[in-house]
Structures are given as structure tokens and as C-alpha cells.
Amino acid sequence: MIRNGWEDTVRIHEYQAKRLLKSYGIPVPRGAVAFSAAEAEAAARFLGGERWVIKAQIHAGGRGEAGGIAFANDLDEVKIAAERLLAKPLVTAETGPTGLRVKRLYVEEAVQPARELYLALYVDRSTGQVTFLGSRRGGVSITSGAVPRPEEIVKIGSDPDEPASGRAADELAARMTDDEAAVPQVGDVAKRLYRAFWELDASLIELNPLALLTNGRAVALDTRVILDDNALFRHPALEALRDDEDTPPEELEAARHEINYVAMAGTVGCVANGAGLGMATVDLLKLRGVEPANFMDIRPVATREQIATGFRMMLRNSSLTCILVNIFGGGIIRCDLVAEAMVLATREIPIRIPVVVRFAGTNAELGQKLLANSALPAEFARDLPDAVDRIERHYGKHPGGSTASRAVAAWV
């Protein structure tokens, strides 16, 4: 239900998340990690029982719909399922068309739920509260995009002065299920989840599904935990859980230079300072039918040299037809600093394409003068709508993209 989109976060694998939540007393099925089909078979034998679940461990949701979760009724089926999952990348709604390579599996005892619920805690930026989100329906019915009826959605803000947030958790549980016997179980899980959220400095904890068993017990069958990496200095043990194998190399390189960078499938490069400004720019382009090639957010602490590195990294994309940069000078990041970085970057990778620049705020005029006196073929927009108009016109000359030599670099 809650999708990707957090900046400055660390995602951990399901098996790691379950170990953390188990330490807070949240019930989870017994399971073991495996890195090969033989290890998966051994894990199932160790767990015992008659039925198991084999789950691909990647940093993306939608695994069930994509075939990343398999059930097995005997050890041979466990091995066959493991071999299949480890054989090729898994493509989900969150991975993009290339998918993510499955390098590890989680083998669990199979649990038969009587009912599946949805429960999450996240920071609601509109209210500034840590907020409970629940639904009477969970599992694939939520992740597949189905929209529950309004009465099935429960959203309750927590009271920061109430450490256990007991009132909110109890209200949530009472509204999430009509089974009176299950209400105390769901409420207890919600209270423990709230404590884990605060103590782990999480950005999101999601239980989907939270299963109700026939005996009324609540068990977290699947979970996603996203941590705030700005708080990892307080949690050395959590820092050790970070797994960057699923992160594209360019994103790791950008992070080292105080840049947030996400590659996309289009041909228009996008640069902004601030995640909100960057996402707004991307949204405006997509509304015009223009497909972005990347999302690039310059952090306030980035230096001129670091910004230049981000530009060079973006310019390596030979399919670019446009590059959009939306800079609002203020605080530490000034328009002239970004202009200097652009000039510095193009000394190594020349831009032989027009550049549309929209600078606003601190030293906007100085930034424009620096670019006007450089070798960059810059054109300047009055405002963001004007910049998007220009990009749309340039993009229309080469729909679907072309080579960089024919492209237009647009700095919005």
C-alpha cells in the first residue's frame, strides 16, 4: 500500500526485518536464510513441518505478484523453487524492466491465515505525526493496487507524549477487525510496532499481511522496514544490515558525493535542489508526455566539485535528448555555485546541445551570467512553466530519444 519514495533511507531485507521485530515480541513465522538451492533444502529440513514458503530477498515490493514467493509441499519442491528463483532477475512493479537479481532466499514454515490484515507505521508529513495505517484487507489485495472501501481503511495519528501510544493502538485494533477475540492481539502488535518504530528510528514499518490465525493469534507473515540513515550513527548494529547490492552503481557513486540520483527509463535528464522540487519537475514533465532519464537531487551540503561529479555522471548517458535542472538558490546552495559546477563538469564532457536554465533565488542573475559567458549553449527560462514549455518543444523534435549529439540539455 505504501510505495517507495523515501529519501535518506536504508532498506533491509525481510529476514533482517523479522529478526528485529521478533526482538520486540512481534510474532513471526520461523525461518532461515539460504544462498543456494541446497541451502534452501537444508533450511526446510531444519525447520521441519510439511509445507514451506520460499521467498526471494530483494529490496522491492510486489514479489508475490511477480512470482518471487513460492510454496513447497516437500523437500524436492523446495529445491526446485529455489533454483527457479535464483536463476534470473525478478521483475516487479518497483524494480523497473531489468529487475533485480535474487542472491538470497528466505525459507519459512508455511502458516495458514484465517484472515489477512494490513498494518503500518509511517511519518505523515501533512500532520508531522507518526501515524498508524491499517486495513481489514491485506496481502495481495492491497499490493496489487486494489482500492479498499473507505470504511476498511483506518488512519490514526499517534500522540508523541504517549510513549506506547496505547490509545491509538487500541482504537486501530478495534476498527481493523470485527473479531473481538482478535482485537487484543492486534492491539498488542500495534503497540510493540510503535515502540520498534521509535527505537529503531524507522521511516516505515509495514506488516502485510498481518495474519489472524484460527486460534486468534496475530502473526506478521511479511514485513518491510525502512530506516532513516540520518539516524544510523545511533545504531551501529543497524548500519551493519545495510545491503547495497540491489542499488545501481551510479546511485552509490552519487550518494558518496552528496547527490541523490535515481536512473529512469526516459531520455530527459533532470536536476534540482531538493527532493520535493525535483519530484515536482519530474511530474510536470510526465504530464506533458516527456519521459525523464533520471532524478537528481543536489543536497544542501554538496560542494561545487561534488555537484560537478553529479553532472558528469548524468552526462555519461548517451541517450539523453534533454536535461532539466530546476535550481532555487537559498541557504547553502546558490545558483552561481551550480553554474560553476556545470562549467567545471563540461570541461571533461562537453555539452554540444542547447541548455535551458531556470535559476531563481540567491545569485540567480550571477549564475546566468556565468553560463552566458561560458561555452555552454544556454537558454534561460523565465520560470518553471516556461522551462517545461521549452523542454517539451525540444523533446518533440526527437520523440522517444536520440543520440546525445542531437539532444537538448534543459536546465529547469
Q: What is the mean pLDDT of residues 127-148?
A: 75
pTM attached to this predicted model: 0.69
Looking at residue 90, the DSSP 8-state letter turns out to be B
Residue 230 sits in the same domain as residue 255: no
Q: Please give the pLDDT value at position 204.
A: 93
Which of helix, strand or coil describes residue 395? helix
Which residues neighbour 127 within 8 Å (Cβ) at sequence distance 6 or greater? 157
Q: pLDDT > 70: what percent of the chain?
A: 88
> For 141-245, where are the E strands, in sequence order?
153-157, 202-212, 218-220, 223-228
Task: State yes or no: pLDDT of 233 exceeds 90.
Answer: no
Q: What is the mean pLDDT of the chain?
A: 85
Which residues neighbour 301 within 8 Å (Cβ) at sequence distance 6 or greater? 258, 332
How many domains, in total, are found in the chain?
Answer: 3
Q: Where are the alpha helices (DSSP H) in 98-201?
A: 140-143, 166-176, 183-199
Mind listing the pLDDT tens digit for each residue in 245-296? 656 667 777 777 778 888 888 889 899 998 889 889 999 999 999 999 988 8
Task: State yes or no: pLDDT of 332 exceeds 70.
Answer: yes
Residue 403 sits in the same domain as residue 264: yes
Which of helix, strand or coil describes residue 85? helix
Mind listing the pLDDT tens digit for each residue in 25-48? 999 999 999 999 999 999 999 999
77 is catalytic: no
Q: pLDDT > 90: what percent of the chain?
A: 49
Task: State yes or no: pLDDT of 404 exceeds 70.
Answer: no
Kindly indicate the confidence band of residue 410, based on its pLDDT and cuts at 50, 70 and 90.
very low
Before 209, cis peptide (omega within 30)? yes
Mind listing the pLDDT tens digit for each residue in 96-129? 778 889 999 999 999 999 999 999 999 888 888 8
Mind listing the pLDDT tens digit for each residue in 179-207? 888 899 999 999 999 999 999 999 999 99
Task: State yes or no: pLDDT of 405 exceeds 70.
Answer: no
* Cell numbers representing residue 65 in the block: 505478484
Catalytic residue among 118, 122, 261, 395: 118
We report the CATH number of the domain holding residue 368 as 3.40.50.261
* Domain end (from 82, 110, 138): 110
* Domain end (from 188, 213, 246): 246
Catalytic residue among 206, 291, 340, 392: 206
Which residues neighbour 379 within 8 Å (Cβ) at sequence distance 6 or greater? 354, 355, 356, 357, 390
More reliable by pLDDT, 7 or 391:
391
Q: Please give the pLDDT value at position 73.
A: 97
CA distances from 107 to 14, 41, 46 (A): 11, 9, 10
More reliable by pLDDT, 344 or 2:
344
Residue 240 sits in the same domain as residue 257: no
23 burial via Cβ count (<10 Å: 0-12, 13-18, 19+):
exposed
Residue 106 sits in the same domain as residue 120: no
Task: State yes or no: pLDDT of 151 exceeds 60.
Answer: yes
206 is catalytic: yes
Residue 364 sits in the same domain as residue 384: yes
Q: What is the dihedral angle through the alpha carbons of 292, 298, 303, 305, rounded to the nearest 10 degrees?
A: -10
CA distances from 175 to 43, 154, 155 (A): 38, 7, 10
Range of the domain at 349: 249-411
Measured CA to CA, the distance from residue 107 to residue 32 in angstroms comes to 5
Assess contact for 309 and 348: CB atoms under 8 A.
Answer: no
Three-point CA angle 53, 58, 59, nearest 5°: 130
Residue 232 sits in the same domain as residue 120: yes
* Domain end (from 246, 271, 286): 246
Residue 158 sits in the same domain as residue 261: no
Kindly indicate the confidence band of residue 397, based on its pLDDT and cuts at 50, 70 and 90.
low
Q: Please give the pLDDT value at position 1.
A: 41
Looking at residue 291, the DSSP 8-state letter turns out to be P
Measured CA to CA, the distance from residue 412 to residue 409 in angstroms comes to 10
Kindly indicate the confidence band of residue 409, based on its pLDDT and cuts at 50, 70 and 90.
very low
CA distances from 198 to 9, 163, 252 (A): 15, 9, 27
* Cell numbers representing residue 57 in the block: 530477498
* Cell numbers representing residue 5 in the block: 519514495
Residue 58 sits in the same domain as residue 166: no
